[in-house]
């Protein structure tokens, strides 16, 4: 299942080694990257609303594409640029 961003519970994540944190951590979030596309057929249906909400909250927004080996890079770049703002 896929879910929209819960802006009241937004957390900073990392793909690096896990860290244990005790207590409350409250980092100011000033920017966010949101997945837009994957390959040439997958579009994150929550992307437009999540992007609008992040901008409404004053965040700088970046979009990213998840590359697939099933189609050419040119085709994927074209798909990403057409679907992403």
For residue 16, pLDDT beyond 70: no
pTM of the model: 0.71
Q: For residue range 5-15, what is the model confidence (pLDDT) as tens digits?
A: 777 776 655 54
Q: CA-CA-CA-CA torsion for 68, 71, 72, 75, nearest 10 degrees?
A: -100
More confident residue, 69 or 14: 69
Q: Where are the domains of the chain?
A: 29-85
Contact between 51 and 7 under an 8 Å Cβ cutoff? The reply is no
Q: For residue range 19-50, what is the model confidence (pLDDT) as tens digits?
A: 565 656 566 778 889 999 999 999 999 899 98
Q: Which backbone phi and psi does 47 adopt, to 5 degrees?
A: -55, -50
pLDDT (0 to 100) of residue 28: 72
């Amino acid at each position: 299942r896929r879910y929209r961003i819960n802006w009241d519970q937004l957390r900073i994540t990392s793909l690096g080694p896990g860290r244990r944190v005790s207590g409350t951590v409250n980092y100011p979030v000033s920017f966010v990257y949101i997945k837009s596309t994957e390959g040439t057929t997958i579009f994150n249906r929550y992307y437009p609303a999540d992007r609008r909400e992040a901008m409404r909250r004053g965040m700088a927004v970046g979009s990213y594409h998840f590359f697939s080996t099933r189609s050419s890079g040119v085709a994927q770049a074209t798909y990403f640029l057409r679907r992403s703002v």
